[in-house]
Amino acid sequence: MSGRMGGLAGVVTGATKGLGRETALLLAEEGASIVGVGRNSGDGRRLEEDSRELAGDIAFVSGDVREEDTSGRAIEVCMERFGRLDIMVANAGILGPETPLHETDTGDFDEVFDVNVRGLFYDCRAAVRAMLEGNGGSIVTVGSILSVAADPMLTSYTATKAA
C-alpha cells in the first residue's frame, strides 16, 4: 500500500467484524493509528494481533456504542496513545429481527435504534468535540442502501438507517 494515511489517527466503531474490521485494517495498512471499538474482547485481541505487521497500529477498546461513554473512552485512548484524532468511522450497527412492521416488538426496535441511531449520535458528538479542540478531522458514517429502499422484513433496520 501507499502509506497515504501515515501520521493520522482515528477511531473505528464496530471494528471486530465485517466492514468495520476491514476498515480498521485498511487504515492501519495505509499507516494510520487506529482505536478499534467493539463488544467482543477476543475479536478485539485478534484485530490487534492482525495489525502487528502493518504500517500503522491498532489498539482495541471494548465497549458498546449504546453506552454514552464508549466513544469518549475510545477517543481518550486515541489521544493518549497517538496524540490526535483525525478520523472517526462510525460503523457500528445491527440488523435486528427479520420481522414485518406489524410483528416487530418495541424492545427489539429500541435495541436497533439505540445502536444504529443513538450510538451514531454519541460517536459523532464525541468526535466533533475532540476535533474542534484539535485541527479538525473527518467523520465517516456507514450507511446502507436500505436507508433509501425499504425491506419489509427489516423494518427496524431500514427505519434507523434512514434516520
- The C-alpha atoms of residue 98 and residue 59 are separated, in whole angstroms, by 34
Strand ranges, E, within the chain: 9-13, 33-38, 57-62, 87-90, 138-141
Active-site residue set? 157
Smallest CA-to-CA distance from 143 within 107, 110, 117 is with 117
- Helices and strands (DSSP H and E) totals, the chain: 6, 5
